[in-house]
Amino acid sequence: MKALVYQGPGRRSWQEVPDPQLQHPGDVIVRVDAVTICGTDLHILKGDVPEVASGRVLGHEAVGTVTAVGAAVETLDIGDRVLVSCISACGKCRYCREAHYGQCLGGGGWILGHLIDGTQAEYVRVPFADNSTHKVPEGVSDEQMVMLADILPTSYEVGVLNGAVRPGDVVAIVGAGPIGLAAILTARLHSPRTIVSIDVADSRLEAARTFGADVVVNPGTGSVRAVIDGLTGGLGADCVMEAVGTPGTFEDAVRLTRAGGHVANIGVHGAPATLHLEDIWIKNLTITTGLVDTYSTPTLVDLVAGNRLDTAAMITHRFTFDDFEAAYDVFSRPAETGALKVLLTVPK
Ligand SMILES: [Zn+2]
Ligand SMILES: [Zn+2]
């Protein structure tokens, strides 16, 4: 089969590799019908994730069709259409028993395209298949569904639910990249009063408006503080989500939050950020961080199936597997290409 193979920092290729085989009784093999590329894949390609070995097939998000089923798999059959979640779950360890699947101690967690071969391929082996896939409901398209593999549950769980967004809240989201936009989409499910999107790129702020931001601010040309103060009588936002992953944006998120409010960090950080305890010890803040657990995926699947969530709006570019290299190129230059999420499907 063909797959997108990591060849060490800065190097990747769409190339021939051996077909995956069932290795454990809980495995299934899935023929990949639709797949996307994640910002994390770009981090891997930069060499930021050293545990990814050269030769690894990348990708941790897919929708596909089951083609082989291990002897211990109970809920899946050949021919089932499934979402392959970015998080695999042994289902038995302490963290899985608490629905913290991202922290699985039994060999799951984020393993696809990381510690084992991933989904950017014609076929993928999915371990712990009963706990690591979700059946695609009738009437839901591959492209709607594939957005539920990672980006939607990440924004919803680590942003909206950790940030405890409630009806009537003023919610500020720092960063209007794909994760920030997915945070806007899922924050709306909780009926906030006002969603403020903050980004230094006006093109991204335009996208934020189409996803449901009520107010947009570019800190290069306007005062974020003044906007938030104006909306909240000077108190600060009820919830601020950080969806960039730099020290400055994290520190801004903390400063923009009202006393008693929530700071929900979604961004992936590569450098230390300063926590100004000398200012905030008195403010009763709740600051959360997290890797997605995907416990919310069944809820998100229901919302998509019920036409309450339009996830396909995230997809800006469509390719077939033959153009995998071009898809990476477009996705890695969002400022020029306007890419949010790219979709790759089997050539017709
Ligand atoms: Zn991802
Ligand atoms: Zn586990």
**What CATH number is attached to the domain comprising 308?**
3.90.180.10
User: Which structural domain, as residue segments, surrounds residue 237?
Assistant: 153-289
* Gap from CA of 346 to ligand 1 centroid (Å): 21
- Report the number of distinct structural domains present in the chain: 2
Say what the pLDDT of residue 333 is. Answer: 95
Say what the pLDDT of residue 173 is. Answer: 98
Kindly report each contact of residues 243-247 with a partner whose C-beta sits within 8 Å and lies 24 or more positions away, as own/partner.
243/155, 243/159, 243/173, 243/174, 243/175, 243/176, 243/177, 243/179, 243/180, 243/183, 243/267, 244/174, 244/175, 244/177, 244/180, 245/269, 245/270, 246/271, 246/273, 247/271, 247/272, 247/273, 247/274
Give the CATH number for residue 231. 3.40.50.720
* Gap from CA of 24 to ligand 1 centroid (Å): 25
* Gap from CA of 182 to ligand 1 centroid (Å): 13
* pTM, two decimal places: 0.96
Same domain, 138 and 221: no
Same domain, 58 and 83: yes
Strand intervals (E) in the chain: 2-6, 12-16, 28-36, 62-69, 81-84, 123-126, 133-135, 170-174, 194-198, 215-217, 237-242, 257-265, 286-288, 315-320, 341-345
Written as six digits, the tokens of 348 are 């017709």
Say what the pLDDT of residue 348 is. Answer: 84
**Tokens 């990440």 correspond to what residue?**
154
Same domain, 176 and 70: no
What confidence tens digit (pLDDT) does each residue in 88-112 have? 999 999 999 999 999 999 999 999 9
Neighbours of ion ligand 2 (CB under 5 A): 90, 93, 96, 104, 106, 108
* Gap from CA of 269 to ligand 1 centroid (Å): 14
Same domain, 109 and 144: yes
Which ligand has the nearest atom to the CA of 108?
Answer: 2
* Gap from CA of 85 to ligand 2 centroid (Å): 14
Give dist(CA 160, CA 40) in Å, integer: 20
Say what the pLDDT of residue 3 is. Answer: 98
Which ligand has the nearest atom to the CA of 118?
Answer: 1
Which ligand has the nearest atom to the CA of 102?
Answer: 2
Same domain, 254 and 316: no
What confidence tens digit (pLDDT) does each residue in 126-137 have? 999 999 999 999
Same domain, 6 and 93: yes
* Gap from CA of 169 to ligand 2 centroid (Å): 35
* Gap from CA of 98 to ligand 2 centroid (Å): 9
Same domain, 52 and 163: no
Same domain, 217 and 92: no
Same domain, 105 and 182: no
- Given 245, 262, 289, the domain boundary residue is 289
Say what the pLDDT of residue 332 is. Answer: 96
The CB-side HSE value for 97 (13 A sphere, CA atoms) comes to: 5
Same domain, 142 and 75: yes
* Gap from CA of 145 to ligand 1 centroid (Å): 15
Which ligand has the nearest atom to the CA of 153?
Answer: 1
- Given 289, 310, 332, the domain boundary residue is 289
Same domain, 305 and 256: no
Residues of the chain with pLDDT under 70: none
* Gap from CA of 106 to ligand 2 centroid (Å): 4
Same domain, 267 and 279: yes
